[in-house]
Amino acid sequence: MSYKFDTGRDSSFCKVCGSFFTKKHNFAIHMRTHTEEKPYSCEICTSSFAMKKYMLKHMRIHSREKPHSCEVCGYSFAQKSVMLKHMRIHTGEKPYSCKICGYSFAQKFTMLKHVRTHTGEKPYSCEVCGSSFAQKSVMLKHVRIHTGEKPYSCEVCGFTFARKESMLRHIRTHTGEKPYSCEVCGSSFSRKEVMLQHMRTHTGEKPYSCKVCGFSFAWREYMLLHMRTHTGEKPYSCEVCGSCFATKQNMVLHMRTHTGEKPYSCKVCASSFTQKSNMMKHMRKHTRKTSMMP
């Protein structure tokens, strides 16, 4: 589509959108939003820009020039606007407020994401299954379920992951790092959610309730296992005789009746047992005999 503009005294009036400009230079730049003209090109990657200042900012990606420095911590930035946003970490300034709950944010985009928790807006949709998301980043992570993409690799064993968080958690299995500590007993954990679950042993909190009998549980997994006592569900089957079990553990124990496996051994007399509990009971016989000796 071509546009014809009056270059006379009314040249500061855009006939496309009605915008008015007092300076002809600003009017000329504005017109590029309609014509999509981008006269400034990057000499390295051929990206084009409507304004020279945007092209110069872009060039810093290639030159890695960072002329704007934080006066507090010395961190450098390619763009002044990004540096000013960074400064809010030090000043604590939070100029963007949620009109619904009054909560304040340092960044506008963070405030907009928060507002969606009130409105329920989910503007980002998966093209494969139609699931909607409040954040684009979460939608892109979801899409990997369909594509099978796993861009994050463990440098130790090469195992790949769809999410960076999952890869970082996995890395701790190699390093042994346990950054989350219980404030009550000092026990350490590699994952925050496991530490929070552990805290329930101290608080007695049982947030998961059975909808049938009301029995409460500290862990969701235990509640789901309990539900099978009501539903009669037995999802684990023995490959030898077809017997079904509500829990995997019971199925594994049952399998030993076929294999004859007895993985638990008495350290005193070398008797073997299929279950740890039976071995512990047996050990008490030795303890009693020892205590009865003169």
**Greatest alpha-carbon span in the chain:** 119
pTM of the predicted model, to two decimals? 0.47
Give the Cα separation of 264 and 275 in Å (integer): 7
The predicted pLDDT at position 294 comes to 57
- For the chain, the domains span 1-64, 182-231, 236-292
The predicted pLDDT at position 147 comes to 94
Whether 1-64 and 236-292 share one fold: the answer is yes
The predicted pLDDT at position 5 comes to 45
Task: Please report, as a single letter, which amino acid is at residue 254.
Answer: H
Task: Please report, as a single letter, which amino acid is at residue 62.
Answer: H
The predicted pLDDT at position 63 comes to 78
Q: What CATH class does 236-292 carry?
A: alpha beta
Termini Cα distance of the chain: 107
Pull the structure tokens for residue 135.
């954040």
Strand, coil or helix: what is 293? coil
Residues in contact with 198: Cβ distance below 8 Å, sequence separation at least 6, in sequence order: 182, 187, 189
Pull the structure tokens for residue 260.
């004859």
The predicted pLDDT at position 1 comes to 44
85-132 pLDDT tens trace: 899 989 999 999 999 999 999 999 899 999 999 999 999 999 999 999
Q: Tell me which CATH code domain 182-231 carries.
A: 3.30.160.60
Q: Burial letters for 9-39: b for 16+ Cβ neighbours within 10 Å, e otherwise?
A: eeeeebeeeeeebeeeeebeebbeeeeeeee
The predicted pLDDT at position 32 comes to 86
DSSP string, 152-217: EE-TTT--EESSHHHHHHHHHHHH----EE-TTT--EESSHHHHHHHHHHHH----EE-TTT--EE
Question: Tens place of pLDDT for every residue, the chain, 294 residues?
Answer: 444 444 444 457 888 888 888 888 888 888 888 888 888 888 888 888 888 888 888 877 787 888 888 989 988 888 888 889 899 989 999 999 999 999 999 999 899 999 999 999 999 999 999 999 999 999 999 999 999 999 999 999 999 999 999 999 999 999 999 999 999 999 999 999 899 999 999 999 999 999 999 999 998 989 999 999 999 999 999 999 999 999 998 999 999 999 999 999 988 888 999 888 889 998 888 877 666 555
Q: Tell me which CATH code domain 1-64 carries.
A: 3.30.160.60
CB 277 within 8 A of CB 292: no
Strand, coil or helix: what is 99? coil
